[in-house]
Each structure stands twice: as structure tokens, then as C-alpha cells.
Amino acid sequence: MASNFSASKNLGGMAEAIDLTGDGGVMKTIVKRAKPDAIAPSENLPLVDVHYEGTLEETGEVFDTTHEDNTIFSFELGKGSVIKAWDVALKTMKVGEVAKITCKSDYAYGSAGSPPEIPPNATLVFEVELVACRPRKGSSVASASDERARLDELKRQREMAAAQKEEEKKKREEAKAAAAARIQAKMDAKKGGGKGKGKGK
């Protein structure tokens, strides 16, 4: 595994996929490299800030993104607060790096999935940008719960935005259906009129 990783560092342009787990469970492809002197997460810098977009490999459907509302998602590495694939992949990234991370369900949401967005046994593809990594701020229970509350609020906002989009999509579809029905009715009326004239001759 180490040799794969070091070999890929020497490739110019788009790197090859790196097997981070040795079983193909978490594959990482560097989309944009960090600067050579960029810092990376460590024991002293375990808090990471990321931008990301998650899609289902099978359909390409986006199920979660921070790009729409330009939010930052923050978490502490190695605490199990995110899916396994993220804990594995983010440790190999540097600040400023953008990577495509493909994770099998064993390293994501498993056989249960995360309904309704993520079906059971789904392979997920994330494009992740490591924006920053920071030291733990005297991590007290209060600060951890504050962070959780902030993340819950962000999640709620994203869910509300998604629900609004769904509602708008429904309205558009209903309007389309109504327009199609009107056109069909006009065409039927014309056909009916044409047949009537034909019979009259």
C-alpha cells in the first residue's frame, strides 16, 4: 500500500487511484494537489474543515453537498464521527488538496444505508477539499456538544433547502404535466374537428 501511495505522488496531472485500505474499499484520486509546503492533519491538528459533494456511484445523483450554501463541514479525525472512509482518506490529504474518494459500503453506510438518500450497500463517491486542519481547543464536553449542535443546525438547513428544491421540482413537474395536458387536449380537439370535416365531404 505504501509503495502505491509514494508512486502516485510522482505522477503529473491527474493521479491514478490509490487503494488506501488494501482491499479496494477506499480509493483516492487526487484532483488538485496541495502546495508542497501545505500542512496535513496530525495528532496535534486533528480538527479538519472540508468542502465536499457526495454522489451515488450507481446513479451519479448528488445526495449531499456543502457547495450549495458554501458551508464548511468540521469534524475531528479518528473519533468515528464520520464514515470510516473519511477517517481513512482525510489523514492522507494536505490543506488545499482536492481528492475524489470512492468508498464501498463497508466503509460508508453498510447494508443499512442511510434512507431515504442512500440505499443499502451503496458505493459512494465524494469530491473532498481539505480547507484547513486545526488543533483541538481544550476539547471539553461543552465544546463538543456546541459543535454537534452547529452541525445539526447545518444539517437541518440543508434538509430544508433540499425539501424546498423538491417542492419546486414537484411544482415544475405539475406545471409541465398541466401544459402537456392542454396541448394534448388541443390536438385531440383538432383531430376531432378534422375527422368531422372529412365525414362531411
pLDDT for the residue 193: 63
Assess whether 49 carries a catalytic annotation: no
Cα–Cα dist 51/28, whole Å: 16
Catalytic residue among 73, 75, 107, 126: 126
pLDDT of residue 135: 93
Q: Cite the DSSP H helix spans in the chain.
A: 2-9, 84-90, 141-200
The model's pTM is: 0.62
Catalytic residue among 18, 30, 83, 101: 83
Active-site residue, from 39, 49, 63, 106: 63
Among 18, 52, 73, 101, the active-site one is 52
**Residue 132 Cα to chain centre, angstroms:** 19
Distance CA 136, CA 189 (A): 72
C-beta neighbour count of 18 within 10 angstroms: 20
Q: Which parts of the chain sit beneath pLDDT 50?
A: 1-13, 139-142, 196-201
Task: Give yes or no: 126 in active site.
Answer: yes
Query: What residue type is assigned to position 173 of the chain?
Result: E
Q: Is 107 a catalytic residue?
A: no
Whether 83 sits among the annotated catalytic residues: the reply is yes
Distance CA 176, CA 24 (A): 44
- pLDDT for res 137: 77
| pLDDT on residue 6 | 37
Options 18, 30, 64, 101, the catalytic residue: 64
Q: What is the reported pLDDT for 148?
A: 67
Tell how strand 73-76 and strand 18-19 pair up. unpaired
